[in-house]
Amino acid sequence: MNIKLVVVGKLKEKYFAAAIAEYCKRLSRFCKFSLVEVRDEKAPESLSLAEMEQVMVKEGERILDKVSDREYVFALAINGQQLTSEEFAQQIKDLTTYGHSDLTFIIGGSLGLAPAVLQRADAKLSFGKFTLPHQLMRVVLCEQIYRAFMINSNSPYHK
């Protein structure tokens, strides 16, 4: 099984990078895990609506360049489906049971995801209505993917 995170921007904080490295190590016993960073579009602080759309489109093109047709894609979106950890684990188990061995999770840039990326997604996933830094969201997502594997292997980690 292959799990890939496609994210916009570089991870700058060492403590987030250390946490992600730890989850990558833990996940290696369950899957081939990779993190793909695409360049964020440089933009001034205040943008018009048209400029915001242009930034999202450019970042979206970079994201979609890293996604193949065979991948099952989860887009992280505030209006996506909210799942419990157990439901998420079951969804991963069901996908792998029915032939989806390449799962990709997409975290957009600060402005969100382009419509083309949301259209390509097979599922939209939300971690609630809170606004979280995208770097922190990477850590949270890695932990939940790891937790899903632990739930599916009946490990006491989840308790």
Domains in the chain, ordered, with CATH?
2-158 (3.40.1280.10)
Instruction: Say if CB 126 and CB 82 are below 8 A apart.
Output: yes
- What integer pLDDT is reported at residue 132 of this predicted model? 86
Q: Which parts are annotated binding residues for S-adenosyl-L-methionine?
A: 76, 108
CA neighbor of 39 nearest in space, from 60, 67, 59: 59
| Binding region | 76, 108
**Phi, psi values for residue 92, rounded to 5°:** -65, -45
- Which residue reads 């060492």 in tokens? 14
- For strand 102-107 and strand 123-126, is the pairing parallel, antiparallel, or unpaired? unpaired
Q: What is the DSSP string of 18-84?
A: HHHHHHHHHHTTTSEEEEEEEPPPP--SS--HHHHHHHHHHHHHHHHHT--TTSEEEEEEEEEEE--
The residue assigned the tokens 């840039």 is: 109
Q: What is the pLDDT of residue 63?
A: 98
pTM for the model stands at 0.95
pLDDT reported for residue 158: 64
SS3 state at 12: coil
Q: What is the pLDDT of residue 159?
A: 67
The per-residue pLDDT string of the chain (159 residues; one tens digit each, 9 = 90 and over) reads 999 999 999 998 999 999 999 999 999 999 999 999 999 998 878 888 999 999 999 999 999 999 999 999 999 999 999 999 999 999 999 999 999 999 999 999 989 999 999 999 999 999 999 888 889 999 999 999 999 999 999 998 866
pLDDT at res. 138: 96
pLDDT at 46: 87
